[in-house]
Structure 1
Amino acid sequence: MSSQILSRLAAAWLAAISVGAGNPALAGEPLRVGATYITSGLDPAKGSNGWALVSHGVGENLFTVDKDGRLVPGLAEKAERTGDLTWVVTLKSGRQFADGTPVTAAALAAGFEHTFATNKAALATGGKLTFEAADDLTLNIATEKPVSFLQALFAEWPLIAYKPAADGTAVLTGPYRVADFKADTALALEPNTHFSGADTRSPIDFRRFADAQSMTLALEAGELDLAFGLPSEVVARLKTNPDLTIKSFPVGYQYLAFLNAARPITSDIKVRQALDLAFDRKELAAAINGGTPATGAYAPYFPFAGKQERPSDRATAEALLDEAGWTKDDAGNRQKNGTPLRLLAITYPQRPDLVTMLPVAKAQLARIGITLDTQVVENIQQVAAAGDFDIALWAQHTAPNGDPAFFLNSMLRSGASLNYAKYMSPDFDAILDRFGSEGHGAKRSAIALDAQAKLFADVPASFLVSPVWYVGVSKRLENYEPWGSDYYVLRADIGEAK
């Protein structure tokens, strides 16, 4: 990608940061933002770049979620069903890409076609979609599989809106555009002059930190105006600093453990059930100084979340291992036919809470005689896709579009591109199929609850903690209010407190 496109993308991302009303005096010194993640590149169709570029304020979706978690129009005005597999989407008038050209149905269709040809995660809900521009503001869409709620599909993170450029890059629509991009290191963002309110925004310098501890030190040294995703153990210390404000907020993410059903030991359902019961969720939540024990696959404020805390029961876990043939030797370690019960757990530094949880989980499994080897890996998706783990501690927003279906379809349906647990269940897939014909909110919640009950029984994933996250801000951004997890870190309403 060109330097110009990189600049546009980076700038849009940081523009998404919210600190209250815009301030006309912002056009000066750049705001300095730090996090432990950054987009891996500027092709919106590749991997999770679509999510990152929206989080960075560079891109937008046809539909989005507001600060109250409600699904609302983005670039689109409305979506209407015209047949069993067909829809018509009406775009908002007057919107422009970052190069000043109008946002049209034909331009967006070209971008979406590239995404569906490139990114398997885009296929999770409706299969492969086809597009036809009826006029500049009318986009006809046909889905491969029945979809009852197209608005939610187009709020999914792979479906960022953009137009492909002639040089193979992309042109987006967010409040910022990329001025410069250094892969895995930094973004320089500038206001997109074709997005309303550009004169109220400062440029932004965004830095990626290898770990949350080094980001914390930079915040304390006065090098950052915003540090997103502080480790919980530093919060008490930072709150004593008069130059900083520390804010916490509940997130739609869940901390969970994928249990690899394709590995020799964790292919046994009784072993997976034992692992699920051996995790002490209260202890894990206490270790990260925030959050509550998980009730299931979704944060407790969603209507489709489980209503009861997931159980922890060491005695039953031990009994299940005995039934599976993994008995204790004289030293209290589990073995079967002379082979020790030894598992590999992985996680990644971009989510510091998970790194904190990893040794706690190791100690919990040791109590029932399981030896756990642990690794912190930089590219968790690559390692997980290769299947080189028994347990993967993972952070996942399970309802980023306010709907329960996408997470289940993209990460746990048989054969799904992100099904790291290698879980295959025709019965579970049949439950998910019901989402395709049911658009009523209460009925979709019922389907989600049925799906979770099946997951609780089969345990391809163990749901652990609904977390609380922390951000630190300087006096310059003391009015910043975080919401939307890290999907909307930098938003169009960024401004300065003073």
Structure 2
Amino acid sequence: MFRKYKSLFILFLAVFLLVACSSETAKEQEKKKKEVNLLFNFATSSLDPNVDTSYVSLRAGITETLVHLNDKDLTIEPWLAESWDSKDGQLWEFKLREEVTFQNGKPMDGEAVKASLERAMKDSLAIKNALRIDSIEAKGNTLMIKTEGPFPEFPSELVHPNTSIIDVTESDYINKPVGTGPFAVSKFTPGTAVDLKRYDSYWGGAAKLEKARFSFNEDANARSLALESGDADIVFRPEIESLANLEAIDGVTVESTSTFRVHQMTMNLERKALQDIHVRKAIDALIDRSSIADTILQGHAEVATGPFPSTFSFAPDYPKKENGMEAAREYLEKAGYKKVHDVMQKDGKPLSFTLLTYSSRADLPLIAQVFQSDAAQLGIDVKIKQIEIPEEYMAANRDWDLTTYSNLTAPRGDAGYYLNATYHPNGALNFSGADDDHLTALIDKLNVTVGQKKRSDLAEEIAMYVDEQVYNSFILHPNTLVAYNSNKVENWITSRSEYYILTNELDVK
């Protein structure tokens, strides 16, 4: 009897150990899964690649565009389109890459791309205005695209994330767009994260990662703490004040990379006070750029004299301007304002501004506060209003005067994008309401100009005119800051365009 129980006990113990080992093995396998958690500074409630201004679908590797921007030399290069050509700058032939499939296995052919572009133009007025397409014809893997007029730089517009190619027959664009990228959507929680899984049949070669999480938190301090605690592997724009602490942690790498971005003071030209150029010059003179770059950005920025970084050939050598409190006061006096009982006023009416800002770029609210303080010394009341999505708010509301806003000005290595979007009456980012016939004519001329030298010269002329008229005020060019666990993450590249983030080459050790 004893032997019987002993045998049963040994059998039970063996089974127990086998289950325990299996459980441990499963846990170990789970640990070894190749995945990363990237924490981004913008939240989104939609993954719709054709309208989402956070561009999460492209950044997370879900979707791709026909044309790609080379971050190193700022030239455009093939992506989903392998080549393109035009004899007159108006009728374009695009050859699509062969054997590309959507994440549902369907082929990406001419008809699918045609349907995707048409859907983008239908749902986004900004894309419709940017592409200026008159017609699209598809035959096999060839597209014939006719623009409304000669448009030599048309291919560069197809770099824009909102032109991402998706399978439009899969209609849940908000929660699960089906693209051609290395990662497919597994789960989307609006405002929190998108969980991704590897698409094994990706045309560029299956991703090295099995899974990824592209999560959101607009609090810079929270992003830094998430990296410190190990809750995140990569964080975009950690809190500036935390950089020294992060760099002191073993295995944490902090990268500060120059981009094509500008922090600017966007001016609502529909507001009466701002229609006076002297008031606009006063605002520009009040901005202490060097102090902001040194204190708020702690040197991770270049002082801006215009929208384009000084390294670009189309960035003019601007004339020296008078800056500071006294210069601002003199401009306001030219506009008819006087300081009475510590209040800057004209015809008995005080000068006041509503200034919009948003926290997803942590330095912008701080810039707004500095401007508010300096303006108060001149007797100008500045009311700061926090908003969430600046593009949506500025487009839908005109109850504001100024906005601390950040924008990519030359993400394709060409000035045409920013000048069209920001100063053309039909521009997608013309929140100022700029409608200057001379300026519009110059931009229209740029749009039909061929040759980099001629385009750069004309773009420089336009930028100089914008500066003379003080249509918006430019503060600084911030670096992109990324911190990541380099003990774990491999093949990370900080994109200067900020478009390409999760790629098929990203890996873990």
Query: Is 1:301 the counterpart of 2:306 in the alignment?
Result: no
Q: What TM-score do you get using the length of structure 2 for normalisation?
A: 0.87
Q: Distance in 2 between matches of 1:296 and 1:26?
A: 49
Match of 1:75 among 60, 80, 98: 80
Q: CA deviation at 1:222?
A: 1.4
Q: CA deviation at 1:101?
A: 2.1
Q: Distance in 2 between matches of 1:430 and 1:301?
A: 26
Larger Rg: 2
Query: Is 1:288 the counterpart of 2:304 in the alignment?
Result: no
Residue 490 to residue 168, structure 1, CA distance change in 2 (3 Å):
closer
Q: Distance in 1 between matches of 2:230 and 2:131?
A: 47
Helix, strand or coil at the partner of 1:284? helix
Q: Distance in 2 between matches of 1:298 and 1:456?
A: 12
Higher relative contact order (CA 8 A, sep 6+): 1
1:123-134 to 2 correspondence within 5 Å?
123-133=128-138
Q: CA deviation at 1:40?
A: 3.3
Q: CA deviation at 1:53?
A: 1.4
Query: Is 1:86 the counterpart of 2:96 in the alignment?
Result: no
Match of 2:106 in 1: 101
Query: Is 1:46 the counterpart of 2:54 in the alignment?
Result: no
Helix, strand or coil at the partner of 1:463? strand
Q: CA deviation at 1:111?
A: 0.5
Q: CA deviation at 1:374?
A: 1.0
* Matched letter for residue 445 of structure 1: S
Q: CA deviation at 1:402?
A: 2.0
> CA offsets per residue over residues 20-73 of structure 1, 9 Å max, x none?
xxxxx9971531111121443132222426x33111211111111123022111
Q: Distance in 2 between matches of 1:452 and 1:93?
A: 41
> CA offsets per residue over residues 91-145 of structure 1, 9 Å max, x none?
1222222122222111100000011111111133442442101x22210001113
Identical counterparts, % of pairs: 26
Which stretch of structure 1 is more off in the superposition, 372-381 or 177-186? 372-381
Q: Distance in 1 between matches of 2:261 and 2:379?
A: 30
Structure 2 unaligned segments of length 5 or more: list them: 1-29
Q: CA deviation at 1:439?
A: 2.2
Residue 405 to residue 260, structure 1, CA distance change in 2 (3 Å):
same
CA RMSD of aligned residues (A): 2.1
Match of 1:163 in 2: 167
Verify the 8 A CA contact 1:258 1:394 in the aligned structure 2: yes
Q: CA deviation at 1:171?
A: 2.4
Verify the 8 A CA contact 2:91 2:144 in the aligned structure 1: yes
Match of 2:499 among 482, 487, 493: 487
Match of 2:222 among 205, 214, 217: 214
Q: Distance in 1 between matches of 2:489 and 2:439?
A: 46
Verify the 8 A CA contact 2:416 2:447 in the aligned structure 1: no
* Matched letter for residue 30 of structure 1: E
Residue 94 to residue 450, structure 1, CA distance change in 2 (3 Å):
same
Verify the 8 A CA contact 1:26 1:202 in the aligned structure 2: no
Structure 1 unaligned segments of length 5 or more: list them: 1-24
* Matched letter for residue 76 of structure 2: L
Q: Distance in 2 between matches of 1:39 and 1:209?
A: 10
Q: CA deviation at 1:328?
A: 1.1
Match of 2:255 in 1: 247
Q: CA deviation at 1:260?
A: 0.6
Q: What TM-score do you get using the length of structure 1 for normalisation?
A: 0.89
> CA offsets per residue over residues 163-190 of structure 1, 9 Å max, x none?
3015454421111111000111111011
Query: Is 1:346 the counterpart of 2:350 in the alignment?
Result: no
Q: Distance in 2 between matches of 1:232 and 1:393?
A: 18
Match of 2:424 in 1: 413
Q: Distance in 1 between matches of 2:344 and 2:96?
A: 60
Match of 2:21 in 1: none
Match of 1:188 in 2: 195
> CA offsets per residue over residues 336-381 of structure 1, 9 Å max, x none?
1222111111111111121222212222323433221112211222
Match of 1:31 among 8, 13, 36: 36
Match of 1:202 among 188, 205, 210: 210
Match of 1:355 in 2: 365
Query: Is 1:459 the counterpart of 2:470 in the alignment?
Result: yes
Helix, strand or coil at the partner of 2:163? coil
Verify the 8 A CA contact 2:122 2:128 in the aligned structure 1: no
Helix, strand or coil at the partner of 2:364? helix
Match of 1:259 among 246, 267, 270: 267
Match of 1:114 in 2: 119
Q: CA deviation at 1:226?
A: 0.4
Match of 1:21 in 2: none
Residue 84 to residue 490, structure 1, CA distance change in 2 (3 Å):
closer
Verify the 8 A CA contact 2:409 2:418 in the aligned structure 1: yes
